[in-house]
Amino acid sequence: MYSNIVCGVDGSDLSSKALRHAVALAAKTGGKVTAVTVTEPSIIVAPGAEIMMVDTSAIIADLDKAKAESAKAILADADKIAGEAGGKISGMHVANSPAAEGILQAAKEVNADLIVMGSHGRRGLGRLLLGSQAAEVLAHTELPVLVVK
């Protein structure tokens, strides 16, 4: 039924819970799980920058390096959680993308047939019932979405 599951992970307790659900579901269906973490684009806002010239490339490169290292740690933790739950996952880091767009991009790339994610993560203030990223994924995909709370 669900042979190719994408699970959004961000290091939060709720995304870990969602990952455990994805791994358990994959074990029952004989499917595989791809844990996806997304890092947003690095931007620098400097009021008055129109009158000065600053080379921000080194700053942006350092920010991107730190985010890549954080993503690597999140995926390593996800691999450990999956192993403890009795499963195996593959990991994917989508860089320079809003979270929902990155999850949807990953789902398309791996030809997923289910997206699993937590109802709230570490991003944004959230919404009344669902986190803003979960709501965005639901609004922009035709795939089934399992939202874990």
Domains within the chain, CATH numbers bracketed? 4-148 (3.40.50.620)
Q: How far are the Cα atoms of 57, 82, 83, 144 from residue 96, in angstroms, in the given order?
A: 15, 26, 28, 25
pLDDT level of residue 50 (50, 70, 90 thresholds): low
Q: What is the CA radius of gyration of the chain?
A: 17
Token code pair at residue 84: 């403890």
Of 88, 65, 85, 91, the closest CA to residue 11 belongs to 91
Q: What is the pLDDT of residue 125?
A: 42
Q: Look at residue 128 in the predicted model and tell me its pLDDT.
A: 43
- Of 79, 117, 112, nearest to 100 by C-alpha is 117
Residue 116 and residue 7 in contact, taking contact as beta carbons nearer than 8 Å: yes
Name the token pair of 14. 């709720």
pLDDT, one tens digit per residue, over 88-141 is 999 999 999 999 999 999 999 999 999 999 987 554 443 444 578 899 999 999
Whether the pTM exceeds 0.85: the reply is: yes
Residue 71 to residues 2, 30, 39, 67, 76, Cα–Cα distance (Å): 26, 27, 7, 6, 9
The pLDDT of residue 129 is 46
What is the Cα–Cα distance from 16 to 35, expressed in whole angstroms? 10
